């Protein structure tokens, strides 16, 4: 039985490549703590740091025979943790941007949709209100507001006084405001 604490990293790697579980466990014990502290220091999040280090050792165990250790084991592990931390941060930024974008869309989408519904409802109430106006009042109001005719032009066209025109428009507006006021109760 080997005394793993006395073995150098290269010897532990070689034994781990031969599927010596004790050698791999010793690598894990030797480096887990310092890698965790390194990842936690960068991330500021203990759980994420644990996950990154655990994933690193899982990957190392599964791929140890394909890895060509050109540098020291400690350099390889630190570089791997750094790369995984950077990948995590990059991924987190993308997720955060997506969530911000989605939230902005959701907030704006609801507001736009709600605003559009209100506008259409208001148009329906105004149209219904104009249709319900008495004959001459409706005609005067439509000529004034939709055809932009002056009081004098309407008076000349309909053969009534400008005072009557002004009175009819004022009454029409009062009636429509009452109907629109009922809409504001619901919104």
- In whole angstroms, how far apart are CA 25 and each of 32, 88, 114, 125? 10, 26, 60, 77
Per the structure block, which two tokens stand in for 152? 């004098």
φ, ψ of residue 159 in degrees (nearest 5): 70, 35
Classify residue 172: in a domain, yes or no: yes
Q: Which of 83, 98, 113 is the last residue of a domain?
A: 98
> Looking at the structure, do residues 77 and 144 belong to the same domain, yes or no?
no
Domain assignment present for 36: yes
Report the pLDDT value the prediction gives residue 119, as an integer from 0 to 100. 75
Pull the structure tokens for residue 49.
């740091």
pLDDT at 185: 46
Residues 159 and 93 in one domain: no
Whether 55 maps to a domain, the answer reads yes
User: What pTM does this model have?
Assistant: 0.52
**41 domain-assigned:** yes
The answer to whether residue 42 sits within a structural domain is yes
Establish if 110 belongs to a structural domain. Answer: no
Structural domain boundaries enclosing 167: 133-186
Q: Which residue has the tokens 């941007």?
A: 97
Q: Which of 47, 71, 98 is the last residue of a domain?
A: 98
- 8 shares its domain with 76: yes
User: How many domains does the chain divide into?
Assistant: 2
CB atoms within 10 A of CB 181: 9
Q: What does the pLDDT profile of the chain (187 residues) look like in tens digits?
A: 568 888 888 889 889 999 889 999 999 999 999 999 999 998 888 999 999 999 999 999 998 888 887 788 888 899 999 999 988 888 887 777 767 776 666 666 555 566 777 777 777 877 888 888 888 888 888 888 878 888 899 899 999 998 988 888 888 888 877 777 655 544 4
CATH of the domain at 148: 1.10.10.10
pLDDT digits (tens, 9 = 90+) for 152-166: 998 999 999 989 888
């Amino acid at each position: 039985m080997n005394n793993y604490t006395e073995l150098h990293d290269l010897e532990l790697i070689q034994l781990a490549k031969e599927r010596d579980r004790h050698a791999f466990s010793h690598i894990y014990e030797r480096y887990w703590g310092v890698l965790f502290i390194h990842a936690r220091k960068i991330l500021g999040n203990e759980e994420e740091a644990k996950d990154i280090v655990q994933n690193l050792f899982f990957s190392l165990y599964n791929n140890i025979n394909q890895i060509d250790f050109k540098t020291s084991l400690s350099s390889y592990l630190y570089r791997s943790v750094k790369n995984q931390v950077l990948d995590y941060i990059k991924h987190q930024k993308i997720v955060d941007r997506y969530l911000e974008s989605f939230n902005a869309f959701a907030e704006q989408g609801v507001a736009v949709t709600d605003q559009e519904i209100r506008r259409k409802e208001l148009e329906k109430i105004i149209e219904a209100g104009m249709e319900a106006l008495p004959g001459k009042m409706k005609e005067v109001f439509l000529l004034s507001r939709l055809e932009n005719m002056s009081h004098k032009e309407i008076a000349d066209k309909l053969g009534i006084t400008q005072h009557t025109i002004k009175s009819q428009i004022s009454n029409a507006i009062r009636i429509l405001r009452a109907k629109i006021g009922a809409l504001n109760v619901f919104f």
